[in-house]
Amino acid sequence: MTGRRYTGSADGAAKGCRAGLKVLIDEIVSLSGNSLWNNGDFVVRNMRGKETLSVHATGRAVDLSYRFIRAGKGKKDGRAVALQWCRLLTEHADAIGLEMIIDYWPEPYGRAWRCDRDGWVKYERKMVSGAPHGDWLHVEVSPKMADDPAGMKAAFEKIAISLSGQISG
């Protein structure tokens, strides 16, 4: 499916990390064996260097780092795991209400996936601070799925199945 509308920060500041997003974070951290870890979800602030409210303030965005710090946080092949999750999340985008992923690593300026174009675009100029070589993914979900923890959980049961298929296949 293509062309789901992108919300951005249009729904305004929330009171905290929303229940559906919490499920997504817990599931990704667990299914990735802590290769991806929560480096920040809810915070009320503007986008870095901009006047617009960050989507982190809506309680629908998380930064998932794949930085290897010490036992329990990250793995040495973190980038490969992050790429696997970029594929998994975009393949299941409609089920989890995925609206955006920013991948800060690729040169020269990173890349981003968005629901309204249903695909990745490589940034051709400086769009986000942290790119290139930022070792985390910024992930946003829709207001609907941010408030539907049961639906999110069900979607991740399917993701877990495709993940085990990828490992054994």
Question: Residues interacting with Zn ion, by CB under 5 A?
Answer: 63, 138
The C-alpha torsion from 156 through 102 and 4 to 162, rounded to 10°, is -30
Please report which residue ranges of 7-148 form alpha helices under DSSP H.
19-31, 78-91, 93-96, 143-146
> Closest distance between Zn ion and the C-beta of residue 145, in Å?
17
Choose among 116, 117, 112, 140: nearest CA to 128.
Answer: 112
Q: Which is nearer to Zn ion, 27 or 63 (CB)?
A: 63
Q: Which is nearer to Zn ion, 39 or 162 (CB)?
A: 39
Q: Which is nearer to Zn ion, 130 or 162 (CB)?
A: 130
> Closest distance between Zn ion and the C-beta of residue 167, in Å?
28
The C-alpha torsion from 57 through 62 and 65 to 71, rounded to 10°, is 100
> Closest distance between Zn ion and the C-beta of residue 91, in Å?
22
> Closest distance between Zn ion and the C-beta of residue 69, in Å?
18
Q: Which is nearer to Zn ion, 63 or 99 (CB)?
A: 63
